[in-house]
Structure 1
């Protein structure tokens, strides 16, 4: 049972769907993911926090057979079948020049000036915050009843060349297959450490 810290804690069923029983899938049922579902994922994930609301993630949602075939050629051998069978794959990238959008994304102050002339700092911030957004994407997908299969085994330069060629300031971070996972494709959950193993309270 979940410890009730306050009145707004999610019920156990919701925590199971998001975390405790959620798994990373390796194969997918033959069931489509609609464009409306992808829009719904975005509409949830965009509400989660990023630094100065920078929202640096730039996502290509790969669905067509042609686009999937191109992505399959960019991933390591062990990921090819996972990509090929997925109804949709999110290529989660980041925009090094995200700061150009800050005048309307963070209008409270001149946040753009914080990042002008500091490409190294922008790249670090964009990578960090797009990683957060990728995690939000997975939680949003799970909240909407979908399953995820995140992957980092790919040729980033190849992915950039195929999917971000028209935006050369965008870079691939990681990819995440989305759909309805085939339970036969997962194995026993790997160990999870208890709090004391990797945590301390200072």
Structure 2
């Protein structure tokens, strides 16, 4: 049996590992440097190859750019998150598309019956949320890969955001994320992470 050396176990260059994982941090403050649509499109173009069930790809990214839209969003977030949104160059609403199954004939064409798997609305929404969450993980890493920082936020009234921004009921807000270059004192102290031996078991 061939024993893999440590560099082979994680062949990604150490500098890239640091950029994506070890040195990457959640940012709480940002500079005023803008984040362009082209940057966001490039990030998504990179991470869209991450796996989802039945290749469903339910994640939808809503860029909140206008002052009016940002003001509306601020009415639905916690007092802790409001200053972060105010100071970020870009905030996005990450949502799950509950009508993702309409795209299955195009993105899962080898099984014409795949759309019928999601006839039940409750099951379809649960799968939309689950697979969008997978895509969100890839998106956060993609933001880091672009040399930017992400500030994901869960402290918001999701049903209120849905009513305000998605009145047709199709999308479900999952997460808010600030995106940009880190500003002054952007990071809190690094919190402990569980070691592999406490997480990984073999059966």
If the TM-score is normalised by the length of the shorter chain, which range does it land in? over 0.9
1:32 and 1:87 in contact (8 A); partners too: yes
Q: Does the 8 A contact of 1:74 with 1:159 survive in 2?
A: yes
1:3 equivalent to 2:6? Answer yes
Aligned to 1:61: 63
Aligned partners of 1:3, 1:81: CA distance in 2, in Å?
A: 43
> What is the rounded CA distance, in whole Å, between the counterparts of 1:183 and 1:122 in structure 2?
42
Q: Corresponding residue for 2:33?
A: 31
State the distance in 2 between where 1:163 and 1:179 align: 23
1:115 correspondence with 2:106:
no
Q: Which residue of 1 aligns with 2:178?
A: 177
Indicate if the aligned counterparts of 1:96 and 1:126 stay in contact, CA closer than 8 A: yes
CA RMSD of aligned residues (A): 1.5
SS in 1 for 2:96: strand
TM-score, reference length from structure 2? 0.92
For 2:150 and 2:6, the matched residues in 1 are separated by 27
Instruction: Name the SS of the counterpart of 2:103 in structure 1.
Output: helix
2:163 aligned partner? 161
1:50 to 49, 52, 67: 52
Q: CA deviation at 1:197?
A: 1.9
For residues 107-135 of structure 1, what are the alpha-carbon distances to aligned partners after superposition, in whole Å with 9 as ceiling and x for unaligned?
Answer: 0112112112x222211111111011111
Asked if the contact 1:60–1:163 (Cα under 8 Å) also holds between the matched residues in 2, the reply is no
Q: What displacement does 1:3 show?
A: 2.5
Which residue is 2:193 aligned to?
Answer: 192
Deviations 1:178-200 (A, max 9, x none): 11112512121001111122331
TM-score, normalised via structure 1 length: 0.93
Following TM superposition, the consecutive aligned residue runs of length 4 or more in structure 1 with deviations greater than 6 angstroms are: none
Q: Which runs of 5+ in 1 are unaligned?
A: none
Match of 2:79 in 1: 77
